[in-house]
C-alpha cells in the first residue's frame, strides 16, 4: 500500500459509505441493505428485519459506573430500538461476548440477568451467539431480528415535503445522566472516601443506564393505522438524526427549539452543569426515542398521545435544515449543533 488515509478523515458514516459503496444486492430476498436502522429480508411475502450493534468497553460503556445487569439490559434494548425504528416487532436476538479472564462466572451471570430481563420484557428469544476470549476489555455484539407485515417497514429515505417532524418521549436526559456519572467517577478517583452525590438525579441516570425501546409507539401506530413516512431511532442526538432523514430523503426541514420535549428533571439537572438543555437534546445521544415524519393529514391521529411531540416540518431541499430558537433566531442544524447553539 502506497497511500495511507486516516479513518478519522472520513468519519463513521463516511467510512461506512466508503466501504459499502459498491454493494450490489444479489439475492431477491435482500429488500433493504446497508444504510438504515436495520436491513429487511423477504421470506416469501413476510419480512424479517435485522439489526446489529457492537459495544466495546472503554468506548461505549464504562464499567466503573455501569452495573453489569444494566449493561446486559441496555445491550439488548438498543438493538430492539433499531427494530422498532423500522416499524417492526423484534422476535429474536443473537448475543456474542468477548471476555477477559478478569470476569468471573458470577459477573457474567449478572450481565445475563439483564439480558434475560430485557428479553422477557420485550418478548424476544435469545437464540444463539458466540463466546470468545478477549485480550482486553469486554466486547458485546448483539444482533436482533424482527418481523414486519408486508411492506409496512419504514425507512429513513421516504419523508415527503410538508410532512410533520415528530419525536417520542423526551430528549437530552441520557447525556445529562452521563455528565453526573462522569463527575462522580472523577471525584471518586481523586477522593475515594467521598460518597457519591446523585440524589434527585434518578431520572437522568436511569435514562442513561437503563433505557427502554419505544414499543408503545409502534403499537400506537398499528392501533391508529398510522404509517409514518420515515423513521429512525435517536441514538446520536436529534441534530444528527434529523440530518440523516433530510439527507436520505433529499429534503430540508424547520425544527422549533421550543417544541423539543425536555423533561423537567433533565432541565434542572442540565442547569447544575450550566449547560443548555436544548444542546443536550440536539447532540447528547443515547435517548433511544423515535424520530419520524407523518403526513399532515395524519396529524389528528396524534392528538391524544402525550408521548409524541411535533417538533417541525419538512421542506424542499433548497431551504436547507434549520432550527428556530426560542428567541426567534434561525441557525443551520449541524451534527455538532451543540457548538452552534452555545456560540449563537
Residues of this chain, 128-147, that bind a copy of itself according to CB under 8 A = 128-137, 139, 141, 143, 145, 147
Binding to a copy of itself (CB under 8 A) within 74-113 occurs at 91-92, 94, 96-99, 101, 103-110, 112
Quote the CA–CA distance of 255 and 261 in Å, as a whole number. Answer: 12
DSSP conformation class of 296: G
Compare residues 122 and 313 and give the one whose CB is closer to a copy of itself: 122
**How long, in residues, is the chain?**
344
Shorter beta-carbon distance to a copy of itself: residue 120 or 327: 120
CB of 249 to a copy of itself, least distance (A): 20
Does 30 contact a copy of itself by CB under 8 A? Answer: yes
C-beta closer to a copy of itself: residue 45 or 328? 45
Residue 115 phi, psi dihedral angles, 5° rounding = -60, -50
When the beta carbons of 22 and 274 are compared against a copy of itself, the nearer one is 22
Please identify which residue in 86, 118, 119, 174 interacts with a copy of itself, judged by CB under 8 A.
119
Between 126 and 187, name the residue whose CB sits nearer to a copy of itself.
126
Joined together, the cell numbers standing for residue 118 give: 430485557
Q: How far apart are CA 280 and CA 71, in angstroms?
A: 22
Contact 311, 259 (CB under 8 A): yes
Say what angle helices 173-190 and 264-272 make with each other, to 10 degrees. Answer: 40
Q: At what angle do helices 68-84 and 215-224 cross, to 10 degrees?
A: 20
CA distance 51 to 147: 12
Q: Which x/- pattern over 245-264 shows residues binding a copy of itself (rule: CB under 8 A)?
A: --------------------
Q: Give CA separation, 280 vs 179, 204, 239, 283, 337, in Å.
A: 10, 12, 10, 6, 9
**Residue 19 interacts with a copy of itself (CB under 8 A): yes or no:** yes
Which cell is 137 given? 476489555
| Min dist. Cβ of residue 61 to a copy of itself (A) | 12
- Among the listed ranges 26-34, 164-172, 289-297, 327-335, the one in contact with a copy of itself (CB under 8 A) is 26-34
Q: Rule CB under 8 A: which of 36-65 touch a copy of itself?
A: 38-39, 41, 43-46, 48, 50-60
Q: Is 219 in the site for a copy of itself (CB under 8 A)?
A: no
Interface segment toward a copy of itself; rule CB under 8 A; list 33-41, 167-175, 183-191, 238-246? 33-41
Q: Give the end-to-end CA distance of the chain in Å, rounded to a whole number.
A: 44
The reply to whether 157 sits near a copy of itself by the rule CB under 8 A is: no
Amino acid at each position: 500500500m502506497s497511500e495511507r488515509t486516516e479513518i478519522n478523515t472520513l468519519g463513521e458514516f463516511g467510512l461506512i459509505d466508503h466501504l459499502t459503496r459498491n454493494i450490489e444486492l444479489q439475492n431477491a430476498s435482500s429488500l433493504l441493505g446497508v444504510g438504515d436502522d436495520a436491513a429487511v429480508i423477504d421470506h416469501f411475502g413476510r419480512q424479517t428485519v435485522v439489526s446489529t450493534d457492537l459495544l466495546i468497553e472503554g468506548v461505549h460503556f464504562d464499567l466503573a459506573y455501569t452495573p453489569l445487569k444494566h449493561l446486559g439490559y441496555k445491550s439488548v434494548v438498543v438493538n430492539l430500538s433499531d427494530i422498532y425504528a423500522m416499524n417492526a416487532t423484534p422476535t429474536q436476538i443473537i448475543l456474542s461476548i468477548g471476555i477477559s479472564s478478569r470476569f468471573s462466572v458470577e459477573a457474567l451471570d449478572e450481565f445475563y440477568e439483564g439480558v434475560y430481563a430485557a428479553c422477557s420484557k420485550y418478548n424476544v428469544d435469545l437464540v444463539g451467539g458466540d463466546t470468545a476470549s478477549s485480550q482486553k476489555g469486554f466486547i458485546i455484539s448483539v444482533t436482533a431480528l424482527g418481523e414486519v407485515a408486508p411492506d409496512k417497514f419504514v425507512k429513513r429515505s421516504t419523508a415527503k415535503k410538508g410532512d410533520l417532524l415528530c419525536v417520542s418521549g423526551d430528549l437530552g436526559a441520557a447525556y445529562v445522566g452521563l455528565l453526573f456519572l462522569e463527575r462522580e467517577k472523577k471525584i471518586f478517583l481523586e477522593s475515594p472516601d467521598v460518597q457519591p452525590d446523585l440524589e434527585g438525579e434518578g431520572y437522568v441516570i436511569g435514562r442513561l443506564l437503563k433505557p427502554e425501546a419505544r414499543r408503545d409507539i409502534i403499537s400506537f401506530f398499528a392501533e391508529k393505522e398510522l404509517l409514518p413516512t420515515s423513521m429512525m431511532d435517536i441514538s446520536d442526538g436529534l441534530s444528527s438524526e434529523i440530518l440523516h432523514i433530510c439527507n436520505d430523503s433529499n429534503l430540508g426541514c424547520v425544527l422549533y427549539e421550543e417544541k423539543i420535549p425536555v423533561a423537567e428533571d433533565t432541565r434542572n439537572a442540565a442547569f447544575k452543569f450550566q449547560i443548555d438543555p436544548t444542546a443536550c437534546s440536539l447532540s447528547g445521544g443515547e435517548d433511544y426515542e423515535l424520530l419520524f415524519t407523518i403526513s399532515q393529514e395524519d396529524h389528528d391521529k396524534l392528538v391524544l398521545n402525550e408521548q409524541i411531540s411535533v417538533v417541525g416540518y419538512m421542506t424542499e431541499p433548497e431551504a436547507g435544515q434549520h432550527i428556530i430558537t426560542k428567541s426567534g433566531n434561525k441557525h443551520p442544524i449541524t451534527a455538532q449543533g451543540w457548538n452552534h447553539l452555545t456560540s449563537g
